[in-house]
C-alpha cells in the first residue's frame, strides 16, 4: 500500500494508475489560504471556502478534486492538512528554508534583512483593523507541522471510514507582522529596519486556526510559540546566511 504525500503540484486522478500502485490513501498539503478572508476567526474546518489569489485557488481546486475522488470511489481515504504559516527551522540549525530570489513570504524576508542580504522589510499594510494595523497570521513551527503529519498518517492508517477529512495545522494564536518583527529582533539581537507600505493585493486581514478538531481527532497540538520559531529560524540563518549556497 502506498500512501501519497503531495504538496502544491497538481494531482491528476487516473483510475488505472491508482490501481497499478494501489494508491488509495493520501495526505494532501493544503493551506489556510482556502479560508480566504474569513468572516469569523478562528477558522473552523467546515467554514465556507474561497480563493483570494492564484495560489489559494490551486489549493482550493485540489481540495475539491480530492473530495470529488472520494465521492466516486469510496476506497479512498484522504486527509487534507490546512497548514497555517509554517516558519522556523530544524533546531540543529542545519535544515531550513532557502528560497530562490527575493523571498515572497515574511519570515524568509526578515531573515535576509537580519543577515544583511536585504536592506529593509516592506510591511504590507499598516491600516488593517487589527491592534497595531498590520495583518495577523497563525505562524506554526515547522517541527510542529512535521509532528502534525505523523499524527495525520496514524489517523489515516487506523480509520477505515475517514473519507476525505480536513484538519487545520495551526497554533490557534494570531500574531501581527509587527509583533513577528519585534520577536525576531529579540531572538537575533539584530535591528530589522521596516518600511510601511500599502496592503499587498490578495492578502487577508486576520487568519488563525481553530485547533479543536486536530486536537480531538488527531491527538495533535502545536508545542512551540513564536519565540521558539524565531530562535530556530535565526539559528539556521546565522549559521547559513546564504542558505545552502556559499556566498556568491
Ligand atoms: O515581505 C513581506 C512579506 C509578507 N508580509 C506580510 O506578512 C504576512 C504573511 O505573509 P506571507 O508570509 O507571505 O504568508 P501568507 O501570504 O499569509 O500565506 C501564504 O504563504 C504561506 C507561507 O508559504 C503559506 O503557508 C500560505 O498558505 C500562503 O497563503 C502578510 O500579511 C503579508 O502581507 C510583509 O509585510 N512583507
pLDDT digits (tens, 9 = 90+) for 188-229: 999 999 999 999 999 999 999 999 999 999 999 999 999 999
208 is catalytic: no
Which residue has the least CA distance to atom 27 on ligand 1?
31
> 32 in ligand 1 pocket by Cβ < 6 Å?
yes
Alpha carbons 210 and 243: distance in angstroms, whole number:
33
Tell me, rounded to whole angstroms, the distance of Cα 221 from its chain centroid.
15
What dihedral angle (degrees, nearest 10) is formed by the CA atoms of 65, 66, 71, 73? 110
pLDDT digits (tens, 9 = 90+) for 82-139: 999 999 999 999 999 999 999 999 999 999 999 999 999 999 999 999 999 999 999 9
> 33 in ligand 1 pocket by Cβ < 6 Å?
yes
Query: What is the value of pTM for the model shown?
Result: 0.92
- CATH for 122: 3.40.50.720
In a domain, residue 13? The reply is no
Give the position, in ligand 1's atom list, of the atom nearest the Cα of 197.
35
In a domain, residue 247? The reply is no
In a domain, residue 2? The reply is no
Give the position, in ligand 1's atom list, of the atom nearest the Cα of 123.
35
How far is ligand 1, taken at its centre, from the CA of residue 95, in Å? 21
Q: Is 66:18 a contact under the CB 8 Å cutoff?
A: no
**Closest by Cα among 229, 135, 226 to 173:** 226
Q: Is 230:89 a contact under the CB 8 Å cutoff?
A: no
Domain, as residue range, for 146: 26-239
In a domain, residue 85? The reply is yes
Q: Interface pTM (ipTM) of the complex?
A: 0.96
In a domain, residue 180? The reply is yes
Instruction: Out of 35, 55, 208, 244, pick the active-site residue.
Output: 55
Give the count of domains, the chain. Answer: 1
Amino acid at each position: 500500500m502506498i500512501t501519497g504525500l503531495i504538496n502544491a503540484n497538481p494531482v491528476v486522478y487516473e483510475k488505472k494508475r491508482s490501481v497499478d500502485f494501489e494508491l488509495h490513501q493520501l495526505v494532501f498539503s493544503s493551506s489556510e489560504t482556502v479560508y480566504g478572508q474569513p468572516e469569523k476567526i478562528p477558522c473552523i474546518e467546515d467554514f465556507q471556502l474561497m480563493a483570494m489569489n492564484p495560489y489559494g485557488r490551486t489549493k482550493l481546486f485540489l481540495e475539491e478534486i480530492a473530495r470529488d475522488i472520494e465521492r466516486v470511489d469510496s476506497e479512498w481515504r484522504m486527509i487534507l492538512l490546512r497548514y497555517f504559516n509554517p516558519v522556523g527551522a530544524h533546531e540543529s540549525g542545519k535544515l531550513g528554508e532557502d528560497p530562490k530570489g527575493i523571498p515572497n513570504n515574511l519570515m524568509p524576508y526578515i531573515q535576509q534583512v537580519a543577515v544583511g542580504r536585504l536592506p529593509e522589510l516592506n510591511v504590507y499594510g499598516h491600516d488593517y483593523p487589527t491592534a497595531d494595523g498590520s495583518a495577523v497570521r497563525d505562524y506554526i513551527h515547522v517541527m510542529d507541522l512535521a509532528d502534525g503529519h505523523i499524527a495525520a498518517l496514524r489517523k489515516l492508517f487506523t480509520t477505515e471510514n475517514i473519507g476525505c477529512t480536513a484538519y487545520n495545522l495551526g497554533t490557534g494564536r494570531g500574531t501581527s507582522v509587527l509583533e513577528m518583527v519585534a520577536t525576531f529582533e529579540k531572538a537575533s539581537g539584530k535591528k530589522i529596519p521596516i518600511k510601511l507600505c500599502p496592503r499587498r493585493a490578495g492578502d487577508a486581514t486576520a487568519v488563525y486556526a481553530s485547533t479543536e478538531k486536530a486536537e480531538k481527532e488527531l491527538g495533535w497540538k502545536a508545542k512551540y510559540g513564536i519565540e521558539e520559531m524565531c530562535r530556530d529560524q535565526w539559528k539556521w540563518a546565522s549559521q547559513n546566511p546564504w542558505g545552502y549556497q556559499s556566498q556568491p
